[in-house]
Amino acid sequence: MNDPLLLGTRKSLMATTQSQAVADRLTALTGHRVRLAGVTTLGDVSRAHLTQLGGTGVFVNELRSRLIGGEIDFAVHSLKDLPTRQDEQVVIAAIPPRDDPRDALVGTAKFSDLAPGARVGTGSPRRVAQLRMLRPDLEYVAIRGNADTRIGKVTSGELDAVVLAAAGLGRIGREAEISQVFEIDEMLPAPGQGALAVECRADRHDLIELLGVLDDPETRAAVTAERSVLAALEAGCAAPVGAFASGDGHILSLTAAVVAVDGLRSVRTSTSGPTPAAMDLGRELAAAMIAEGAGTLMGEQAH
């Protein structure tokens, strides 16, 4: 392969930065040149809220159609944006080592120091539900837009703070504006948060093998468990479900929660088991959560 591989990416600063990092890593490990190809997705052009767009897949489908059509060789997604139901025409060839999975507050004060009634922006029902558990006295405002746009609402004074993924802020060099990083026990991240998925066509066996050098088995096991919970709960990426798994290569510990949108009720459970059984671990935890009423909480969110 003398021609550069075409890597499809959304055009935002966040997407192009993380795609370029993957491209550079692949070139360093294999010698193959990679060229970025910008793609506009429904999630980029629609001003509707993500939950109105159906949440799952709005940033993914256009990239996948270019992939299946052969216009690009592979694509890089934020793993938390990927639908849990895998399209049989494509395969996740690699999940590189995960960045910080936690959520971060951008503002001038720590979360506990915000004045009662302060306005906090986020586009995620999962974040709102968990933030309400911690501070029901604040006003939570639904926002859209890229990280720069969201941070701009704080600097302009429109909002007192916004909550974004710590990994994304790190990738675009905006860590200095983080006033607090929420610990996992305070706020469970979205399944797969902080991780990237490198996807290509399922029939490109040469490419699957090539991209495999980027794969991190520990990250793959952890996010497989987290996304297995999401799939078993039949929840999309916009649902109020948090999950986080970590392990030592042998044993995986998994915690997940479904939180009512009012923040008053939640179902939170944990389990652990052998790393190779990551998928089953997630399914079993989801079944335990449903037995404790998680399905009812999610049903309320949908109406």
Q: Tens of pLDDT along 279-295?
A: 999 999 999 999 998 88
Q: Determine whether 80 is an active site residue.
A: yes
Q: Determine whether 237 is an active site residue.
A: yes
Quote the CA–CA distance of 272 and 283 in Å, as a whole number: 12
Q: Determine whether 132 is an active site residue.
A: no
Q: Which pLDDT value is given to residue 53? A: 39
Which one is catalytic: 10, 64, 126, 171?
126
Please state the rounded mean pLDDT for residues 147-160. 94
pLDDT at 157 over 90: yes
Please state the rounded mean pLDDT for residues 148-163. 94
Please state the rounded mean pLDDT for residues 196-213. 97
Q: Which pLDDT value is given to residue 106? A: 97
Quote the CA–CA distance of 127 and 124 in Å, as a whole number: 5
Residue 29 DSSP code: H
Which one is catalytic: 81, 99, 103, 160?
81
- The band of 60, judged by pLDDT with boundaries at 50, 70 and 90, is confident
Q: Determine whether 113 is an active site residue.
A: no
pLDDT at 213 over 60: yes
Q: What share of the chain is helix, strand, coil (3-state, %, to 5)?
A: 40, 25, 35
pLDDT at 237 over 60: no
Which one is catalytic: 10, 64, 73, 80?
80
Q: Which pLDDT value is given to residue 215? A: 98
Which one is catalytic: 64, 127, 174, 227?
127
- The band of 74, judged by pLDDT with boundaries at 50, 70 and 90, is very high
- The band of 185, judged by pLDDT with boundaries at 50, 70 and 90, is very high
Residue scoring higher pLDDT (151 or 48)? 151
Q: Determine whether 283 is an active site residue.
A: no
Yes or no: say if 182 and 126 are a contact pair by the CB < 8 Å rule.
no
Q: Which pLDDT value is given to residue 48? A: 47
> What integer best gives the mean pLDDT of the chain?
89
Which one is catalytic: 11, 66, 135, 144?
144
Residue scoring higher pLDDT (2 or 169)? 169
Which one is catalytic: 10, 64, 150, 220?
150
